[in-house]
Amino acid sequence: MPVLAPSNGRRQRREGKRAAALKFMDKVEPLVAELIQCADTTLALRNDTDVAEAMLRFLRQRVAGVPPPPAQSPPRHAVAAPPSKNVKRELKPLLCDMCKRACAARPTDVDAFFVAYLERRPAFIQRTSRDASRRDLLSEWWAPPDRWRLVWADEFDYVGAPDATKWEYQTTCNAWVHDEEHLELQHYTERNAVVEDGCLKITARLEEEEGCAYTSSRLRTQYKGDWLYGRIEVCAKLPPHHRGLWPAIWLLPTDDAYGHWPSSGEVDVMEHVGWKEKGTVHAGVHTRTSNHRDKTHRTSSTVVDDAHDAFHVYSLVWRVDGMDVFVDGDLVHRVLRSEEEDWPFDKRFYLLLNVAVGGKWAGKHGVDPEAFPATMEVAYVRVYRERCS
Protein backbone atom coordinates (compact mmCIF):
# COMPACT_ATOMS: atom_id res chain seq x y z
CA MET A 1 0.00 0.00 0.00
CA PRO A 2 1.51 3.39 -0.93
CA VAL A 3 2.37 5.77 1.88
CA LEU A 4 0.25 8.90 1.67
CA ALA A 5 2.06 12.21 1.87
CA PRO A 6 0.89 14.50 4.66
CA SER A 7 -1.65 17.11 3.65
CA ASN A 8 -0.58 20.73 3.23
CA GLY A 9 -2.44 21.65 6.40
CA ARG A 10 -0.71 18.98 8.47
CA ARG A 11 2.66 19.88 6.96
CA GLN A 12 2.16 23.56 7.72
CA ARG A 13 1.13 22.86 11.31
CA ARG A 14 4.15 20.60 11.80
CA GLU A 15 6.51 23.20 10.32
CA GLY A 16 4.89 25.89 12.42
CA LYS A 17 5.47 23.91 15.61
CA ARG A 18 9.08 23.28 14.61
CA ALA A 19 9.66 26.98 13.89
CA ALA A 20 8.12 27.95 17.23
CA ALA A 21 10.31 25.43 19.05
CA LEU A 22 13.44 26.75 17.33
CA LYS A 23 12.47 30.33 18.17
CA PHE A 24 11.94 29.36 21.80
CA MET A 25 15.30 27.56 21.94
CA ASP A 26 17.00 30.68 20.60
CA LYS A 27 15.81 32.38 23.79
CA VAL A 28 16.81 29.48 26.05
CA GLU A 29 20.28 28.71 24.65
CA PRO A 30 22.05 31.79 26.10
CA LEU A 31 20.71 30.90 29.56
CA VAL A 32 21.88 27.29 29.19
CA ALA A 33 25.33 28.55 28.19
CA GLU A 34 25.47 30.67 31.36
CA LEU A 35 24.43 27.67 33.46
CA ILE A 36 27.21 25.57 31.93
CA GLN A 37 29.71 28.35 32.65
CA CYS A 38 28.42 28.54 36.25
CA ALA A 39 28.86 24.77 36.63
CA ASP A 40 32.33 24.82 35.06
CA THR A 41 33.46 27.61 37.39
CA THR A 42 32.11 25.73 40.39
CA LEU A 43 33.94 22.57 39.36
CA ALA A 44 37.19 24.38 38.57
CA LEU A 45 37.18 25.93 42.03
CA ARG A 46 36.91 22.40 43.48
CA ASN A 47 33.71 23.51 45.17
CA ASP A 48 31.40 20.79 43.95
CA THR A 49 29.52 20.28 47.21
CA ASP A 50 26.52 20.95 45.03
CA VAL A 51 26.80 21.96 41.40
CA ALA A 52 23.03 21.79 41.01
CA GLU A 53 22.61 24.08 44.02
CA ALA A 54 25.15 26.50 42.54
CA MET A 55 23.04 26.60 39.37
CA LEU A 56 19.94 27.08 41.52
CA ARG A 57 21.50 30.04 43.37
CA PHE A 58 22.52 31.58 40.05
CA LEU A 59 18.97 31.28 38.68
CA ARG A 60 17.38 32.64 41.85
CA GLN A 61 19.60 35.71 41.60
CA ARG A 62 18.48 36.23 38.00
CA VAL A 63 14.82 35.90 38.99
CA ALA A 64 15.34 38.43 41.80
CA GLY A 65 17.20 40.79 39.48
CA VAL A 66 20.42 40.55 41.49
CA PRO A 67 23.54 41.03 39.32
CA PRO A 68 25.90 38.04 39.38
CA PRO A 69 29.08 38.38 41.47
CA PRO A 70 32.35 39.02 39.63
CA ALA A 71 33.71 35.84 38.07
CA GLN A 72 36.39 34.14 40.13
CA SER A 73 39.50 32.79 38.49
CA PRO A 74 40.30 29.25 39.53
CA PRO A 75 43.69 28.68 41.14
CA ARG A 76 46.36 27.62 38.67
CA HIS A 77 46.87 24.35 40.52
CA ALA A 78 43.15 23.47 40.52
CA VAL A 79 42.44 20.15 38.89
CA ALA A 80 38.96 18.63 38.76
CA ALA A 81 38.70 15.65 41.08
CA PRO A 82 36.98 12.42 39.99
CA PRO A 83 33.71 13.33 41.76
CA SER A 84 33.61 16.51 39.67
CA LYS A 85 33.90 14.50 36.47
CA ASN A 86 31.00 12.36 37.60
CA VAL A 87 28.95 15.47 38.26
CA LYS A 88 29.85 16.89 34.87
CA ARG A 89 28.63 13.73 33.16
CA GLU A 90 25.32 14.13 34.94
CA LEU A 91 24.93 17.76 33.87
CA LYS A 92 24.36 16.90 30.22
CA PRO A 93 21.20 14.78 30.68
CA LEU A 94 19.98 17.21 33.33
CA LEU A 95 20.30 20.23 31.03
CA CYS A 96 18.82 18.30 28.09
CA ASP A 97 15.82 17.33 30.21
CA MET A 98 15.42 20.92 31.43
CA CYS A 99 15.34 22.19 27.84
CA LYS A 100 12.95 19.45 26.70
CA ARG A 101 10.49 20.28 29.45
CA ALA A 102 10.81 24.01 28.82
CA CYS A 103 10.02 23.49 25.12
CA ALA A 104 6.94 21.46 26.05
CA ALA A 105 5.67 23.98 28.61
CA ARG A 106 6.82 27.21 26.83
CA PRO A 107 6.89 29.23 30.07
CA THR A 108 6.93 33.00 29.83
CA ASP A 109 9.59 33.12 32.56
CA VAL A 110 12.25 30.55 31.69
CA ASP A 111 14.41 31.46 34.70
CA ALA A 112 11.56 30.76 37.13
CA PHE A 113 10.72 27.53 35.27
CA PHE A 114 14.31 26.28 35.64
CA VAL A 115 14.32 27.25 39.33
CA ALA A 116 11.19 25.15 39.87
CA TYR A 117 12.76 22.28 37.90
CA LEU A 118 15.90 22.18 40.06
CA GLU A 119 13.99 22.67 43.32
CA ARG A 120 11.92 19.56 42.70
CA ARG A 121 14.84 17.28 41.96
CA PRO A 122 16.41 16.69 45.39
CA ALA A 123 17.65 13.25 44.36
CA PHE A 124 19.95 14.84 41.75
CA ILE A 125 21.19 17.42 44.22
CA GLN A 126 21.95 14.76 46.83
CA ARG A 127 23.58 12.48 44.29
CA THR A 128 26.01 15.23 43.22
CA SER A 129 27.02 16.10 46.76
CA ARG A 130 30.61 15.56 47.88
CA ASP A 131 29.36 15.13 51.42
CA ALA A 132 29.21 11.37 51.97
CA SER A 133 26.72 11.71 54.82
CA ARG A 134 24.24 13.40 52.48
CA ARG A 135 24.78 10.84 49.76
CA ASP A 136 24.14 8.11 52.31
CA LEU A 137 20.65 9.48 52.87
CA LEU A 138 19.77 7.74 49.64
CA SER A 139 18.79 4.25 50.69
CA GLU A 140 19.73 1.11 48.80
CA TRP A 141 16.28 1.19 47.24
CA TRP A 142 17.28 4.30 45.31
CA ALA A 143 18.84 1.84 42.93
CA PRO A 144 19.99 1.98 39.30
CA PRO A 145 17.80 0.68 36.45
CA ASP A 146 19.35 -2.77 36.63
CA ARG A 147 17.38 -3.28 39.84
CA TRP A 148 14.17 -1.33 39.22
CA ARG A 149 12.06 -1.06 36.05
CA LEU A 150 9.77 1.93 35.49
CA VAL A 151 6.23 0.64 34.84
CA TRP A 152 4.02 3.73 35.29
CA ALA A 153 4.69 7.45 35.47
CA ASP A 154 3.32 10.93 35.02
CA GLU A 155 5.96 13.65 34.65
CA PHE A 156 3.32 16.40 34.23
CA ASP A 157 5.17 17.78 31.22
CA TYR A 158 1.98 19.05 29.61
CA VAL A 159 -0.62 21.73 30.27
CA GLY A 160 -4.30 21.40 31.18
CA ALA A 161 -6.32 18.76 33.00
CA PRO A 162 -4.51 15.73 34.46
CA ASP A 163 -4.03 12.92 31.93
CA ALA A 164 -7.39 11.14 31.80
CA THR A 165 -5.70 7.84 30.89
CA LYS A 166 -3.92 7.90 34.25
CA TRP A 167 -6.07 9.92 36.64
CA GLU A 168 -9.70 10.17 37.68
CA TYR A 169 -11.26 13.06 39.57
CA GLN A 170 -12.97 11.51 42.57
CA THR A 171 -15.97 13.76 43.14
CA THR A 172 -18.34 11.01 44.28
CA CYS A 173 -16.83 10.86 47.77
CA ASN A 174 -18.07 14.25 48.98
CA ALA A 175 -20.86 12.82 51.13
CA TRP A 176 -18.84 9.73 52.10
CA VAL A 177 -17.16 9.20 55.45
CA HIS A 178 -16.18 5.85 56.87
CA ASP A 179 -16.35 7.04 60.48
CA GLU A 180 -16.72 10.12 62.65
CA GLU A 181 -12.98 10.85 62.43
CA HIS A 182 -13.48 12.47 59.05
CA LEU A 183 -16.42 14.82 58.48
CA GLU A 184 -14.27 16.96 56.18
CA LEU A 185 -15.42 20.41 55.10
CA GLN A 186 -14.46 20.55 51.41
CA HIS A 187 -16.44 19.78 48.25
CA TYR A 188 -14.27 18.02 45.67
CA THR A 189 -14.46 19.39 42.12
CA GLU A 190 -12.64 18.86 38.83
CA ARG A 191 -11.59 22.49 38.43
CA ASN A 192 -9.33 22.51 41.51
CA ALA A 193 -6.63 20.33 39.91
CA VAL A 194 -4.63 21.44 36.89
CA VAL A 195 -1.26 20.74 35.27
CA GLU A 196 0.86 23.80 34.55
CA ASP A 197 4.45 25.00 34.93
CA GLY A 198 5.63 21.40 34.78
CA CYS A 199 3.69 20.08 37.76
CA LEU A 200 0.26 19.02 38.99
CA LYS A 201 -1.38 21.61 41.25
CA ILE A 202 -4.18 20.63 43.65
CA THR A 203 -5.70 23.73 45.23
CA ALA A 204 -8.08 24.08 48.17
CA ARG A 205 -10.12 27.30 48.06
CA LEU A 206 -12.36 29.21 50.42
CA GLU A 207 -15.55 29.19 48.34
CA GLU A 208 -19.01 27.79 48.94
CA GLU A 209 -20.31 24.91 46.86
CA GLU A 210 -22.97 22.29 47.48
CA GLY A 211 -23.35 23.38 51.09
CA CYS A 212 -19.60 23.25 51.82
CA ALA A 213 -17.46 26.26 52.70
CA TYR A 214 -14.42 25.03 50.77
CA THR A 215 -13.56 23.36 47.46
CA SER A 216 -10.61 21.15 46.54
CA SER A 217 -9.68 18.16 44.35
CA ARG A 218 -8.99 14.49 44.95
CA LEU A 219 -7.35 12.41 42.23
CA ARG A 220 -6.97 8.64 42.03
CA THR A 221 -5.50 6.08 39.63
CA GLN A 222 -8.07 3.32 40.28
CA TYR A 223 -8.63 1.13 37.17
CA LYS A 224 -5.97 3.23 35.37
CA GLY A 225 -2.98 2.30 37.48
CA ASP A 226 -2.82 -0.16 40.36
CA TRP A 227 0.00 -2.30 41.63
CA LEU A 228 1.01 -5.23 43.79
CA TYR A 229 4.50 -4.62 45.23
CA GLY A 230 7.13 -2.25 43.88
CA ARG A 231 8.38 1.25 44.54
CA ILE A 232 6.05 4.24 44.34
CA GLU A 233 7.56 7.73 44.35
CA VAL A 234 5.79 11.09 44.52
CA CYS A 235 7.85 14.28 44.35
CA ALA A 236 5.75 16.98 46.01
CA LYS A 237 5.77 20.37 47.71
CA LEU A 238 3.18 20.83 50.46
CA PRO A 239 0.86 23.82 50.74
CA PRO A 240 1.83 26.60 53.18
CA HIS A 241 1.58 25.68 56.85
CA HIS A 242 -1.90 26.60 58.16
CA ARG A 243 -4.44 25.10 60.55
CA GLY A 244 -7.10 22.96 58.93
CA LEU A 245 -5.20 21.80 55.83
CA TRP A 246 -4.71 18.08 55.21
CA PRO A 247 -2.64 17.20 52.10
CA ALA A 248 -2.12 13.48 51.56
CA ILE A 249 -0.38 10.89 49.38
CA TRP A 250 -1.93 7.48 50.04
CA LEU A 251 -3.14 4.15 48.65
CA LEU A 252 -6.37 2.16 48.84
CA PRO A 253 -7.21 -1.37 47.64
CA THR A 254 -8.55 -1.73 44.11
CA ASP A 255 -11.02 -4.34 45.33
CA ASP A 256 -12.18 -4.72 48.90
CA ALA A 257 -11.16 -8.36 48.92
CA TYR A 258 -11.15 -8.56 52.71
CA GLY A 259 -14.19 -6.37 53.34
CA HIS A 260 -14.87 -2.67 53.79
CA TRP A 261 -12.40 -0.22 55.33
CA PRO A 262 -10.22 -0.85 57.24
CA SER A 263 -10.24 -4.62 56.67
CA SER A 264 -8.81 -4.40 53.14
CA GLY A 265 -6.12 -1.92 54.15
CA GLU A 266 -4.89 1.61 53.59
CA VAL A 267 -1.33 2.92 53.17
CA ASP A 268 -0.48 6.51 54.12
CA VAL A 269 2.78 7.48 52.43
CA MET A 270 2.51 11.14 53.50
CA GLU A 271 -0.05 13.04 55.53
CA HIS A 272 0.29 16.49 57.04
CA VAL A 273 -2.19 18.29 59.29
CA GLY A 274 -1.70 22.01 59.64
CA TRP A 275 -2.01 22.37 63.41
CA LYS A 276 1.04 20.16 63.98
CA GLU A 277 4.60 21.48 63.96
CA LYS A 278 5.55 22.96 60.61
CA GLY A 279 6.88 20.32 58.21
CA THR A 280 5.61 17.34 60.23
CA VAL A 281 4.66 14.45 57.95
CA HIS A 282 3.08 11.17 59.02
CA ALA A 283 3.24 7.67 57.52
CA GLY A 284 1.46 4.46 58.47
CA VAL A 285 -1.02 1.75 57.50
CA HIS A 286 -4.58 0.87 58.48
CA THR A 287 -5.84 -2.69 58.87
CA ARG A 288 -8.64 -4.48 60.69
CA THR A 289 -6.48 -4.79 63.80
CA SER A 290 -4.53 -1.52 63.50
CA ASN A 291 -6.56 1.61 62.76
CA HIS A 292 -7.44 4.96 64.26
CA ARG A 293 -11.08 4.01 64.79
CA ASP A 294 -10.10 1.47 67.45
CA LYS A 295 -7.19 3.62 68.71
CA THR A 296 -4.76 0.87 67.67
CA HIS A 297 -3.19 2.82 64.82
CA ARG A 298 0.63 2.87 64.73
CA THR A 299 2.25 5.66 62.73
CA SER A 300 5.59 7.39 62.41
CA SER A 301 6.22 11.09 62.00
CA THR A 302 9.21 13.16 60.97
CA VAL A 303 9.85 16.86 60.45
CA VAL A 304 10.90 17.99 56.97
CA ASP A 305 12.05 21.55 57.60
CA ASP A 306 11.26 22.98 54.17
CA ALA A 307 8.40 20.65 53.20
CA HIS A 308 6.21 23.68 52.45
CA ASP A 309 8.85 25.52 50.40
CA ALA A 310 10.67 22.84 48.40
CA PHE A 311 9.98 19.56 46.65
CA HIS A 312 10.75 16.29 48.41
CA VAL A 313 10.44 12.68 47.29
CA TYR A 314 7.97 10.63 49.34
CA SER A 315 8.30 6.96 48.46
CA LEU A 316 6.96 3.55 49.40
CA VAL A 317 8.94 0.34 48.90
CA TRP A 318 6.47 -2.54 49.09
CA ARG A 319 7.52 -6.17 49.16
CA VAL A 320 5.93 -9.49 50.10
CA ASP A 321 7.41 -9.30 53.60
CA GLY A 322 6.72 -5.67 54.44
CA MET A 323 6.61 -1.98 53.59
CA ASP A 324 9.12 0.86 54.02
CA VAL A 325 8.29 4.56 53.67
CA PHE A 326 11.06 7.05 52.84
CA VAL A 327 11.45 10.82 52.60
CA ASP A 328 14.28 11.71 50.22
CA GLY A 329 15.68 8.22 50.74
CA ASP A 330 15.61 8.44 54.53
CA LEU A 331 13.61 5.62 56.14
CA VAL A 332 10.78 7.05 58.27
CA HIS A 333 8.40 4.10 58.75
CA ARG A 334 8.58 0.31 58.51
CA VAL A 335 5.84 -2.33 58.72
CA LEU A 336 6.82 -6.01 58.71
CA ARG A 337 4.37 -8.73 57.80
CA SER A 338 5.84 -11.05 60.43
CA GLU A 339 4.96 -8.57 63.18
CA GLU A 340 1.37 -7.85 62.11
CA GLU A 341 -1.70 -9.77 63.21
CA ASP A 342 -3.52 -8.80 60.02
CA TRP A 343 -1.98 -8.34 56.54
CA PRO A 344 -4.28 -7.29 53.67
CA PHE A 345 -1.35 -5.98 51.60
CA ASP A 346 -1.18 -8.92 49.20
CA LYS A 347 -3.68 -7.38 46.78
CA ARG A 348 -3.46 -4.56 44.26
CA PHE A 349 -3.65 -0.95 45.49
CA TYR A 350 -4.07 2.38 43.67
CA LEU A 351 -2.75 5.87 44.43
CA LEU A 352 -4.64 8.94 45.67
CA LEU A 353 -3.54 12.59 45.88
CA ASN A 354 -5.69 15.20 47.60
CA VAL A 355 -5.86 18.27 49.81
CA ALA A 356 -8.64 17.99 52.39
CA VAL A 357 -9.91 20.73 54.69
CA GLY A 358 -10.98 20.23 58.29
CA GLY A 359 -12.33 17.02 59.73
CA LYS A 360 -12.04 15.77 63.29
CA TRP A 361 -8.26 15.33 63.01
CA ALA A 362 -7.06 18.10 60.67
CA GLY A 363 -9.71 20.54 61.91
CA LYS A 364 -9.12 19.84 65.60
CA HIS A 365 -8.10 23.47 66.17
CA GLY A 366 -10.25 25.03 63.47
CA VAL A 367 -9.42 26.22 59.96
CA ASP A 368 -7.27 29.29 59.35
CA PRO A 369 -9.11 31.55 56.84
CA GLU A 370 -5.73 32.96 55.78
CA ALA A 371 -4.73 29.53 54.44
CA PHE A 372 -6.46 29.90 51.08
CA PRO A 373 -5.86 29.33 48.29
CA ALA A 374 -3.65 26.42 49.40
CA THR A 375 -1.85 24.37 46.73
CA MET A 376 0.02 21.08 46.86
CA GLU A 377 2.35 20.79 43.86
CA VAL A 378 3.43 17.43 42.46
CA ALA A 379 6.46 17.32 40.15
CA TYR A 380 6.14 13.68 39.19
CA VAL A 381 4.74 10.29 40.11
CA ARG A 382 6.81 7.19 39.26
CA VAL A 383 6.12 3.54 39.90
CA TYR A 384 8.84 0.89 39.61
CA ARG A 385 8.78 -2.88 39.60
CA GLU A 386 11.72 -4.70 41.14
CA ARG A 387 13.60 -6.88 38.68
CA CYS A 388 14.00 -10.53 39.57
CA SER A 389 17.38 -11.16 41.18
Contact in structure between 296 and 106 (CB atoms under 8 Å): no
Alpha helices, DSSP H, located in 183-295: none
- CA count, 13 A, side-chain hemisphere, 291: 20
Q: Is 377 a catalytic residue?
A: no
Q: Identify the active-site residue in 119, 168, 233, 266.
A: 266
Q: Identify the active-site residue in 271, 340, 341, 377.
A: 271
Q: Is the peptide bond before 83 cis (omega within 30 degrees of 0)?
A: no
Partners of 231 in beta bridges: 317, 384
Question: Helix or strand or coil: residue 251?
Answer: strand
Contact in structure between 56 and 119 (CB atoms under 8 Å): yes
Q: Is 271 a catalytic residue?
A: yes
Contact in structure between 269 and 249 (CB atoms under 8 Å): yes
Q: Is the peptide bond before 344 cis (omega within 30 degrees of 0)?
A: no
Taking the alpha carbons at both ends of the chain, their separation in whole angstroms is 46
- The rounded distance, in Å, linking the Cα atoms of 343 and 285 is 10
Partners of 154 in beta bridges: 381
DSSP H or E stretch at residue 36: helix 8-44
Q: Which of 244, 229, 389, 249 is nearest to 312 (CA)?
A: 249
- CA count, 13 A, side-chain hemisphere, 374: 31
User: What does each C-alpha distance from 204 to 201, 235, 307 come to in angstroms?
Assistant: 10, 19, 18
Would you name the residues annotated as active-site residues?
266, 271
